[in-house]
Amino acid sequence: MTDTVTVTRELEGWILDAVHKTNTVTFDALKVLSEAVKPVTVALPSVTPPLAYEFVKDFMASERKFAEDVMHLAAQLTPAPPKPATK
């Protein structure tokens, strides 16, 4: 039983590490993108906030979908509860 728990904890750690690295890369890419479009956004102050909010909304929806997919996959790896004994 301990081996299963240890392996499960290691797997969780790997997954969380991969997600953290992915989020870091994504955030860094967004920083680069924001710096690249900054000169244009200064010229369009009334248009930029709605577009930015729409982008963030779509991005967060994508992240939520990813998290739900990961949870669904993880649930498939969880063993089914034992069936009650019949008398």
Whether residue 27 contacts residue 34, with contact meaning beta carbons closer than 8 Å, is answered with no
Hey, where are the domains in the chain? Answer: 2-74
pLDDT tens per residue, range 18-50:
888 988 998 888 888 888 877 777 766 666 677
Provide mean pLDDT across the span 59-83: 83
- pTM of this prediction exceeds 0.85: no
Query: What letter would DSSP give residue 78?
Result: S
> Taking the CB of residue 52, how many other CB atoms lie within 10 A of it?
13
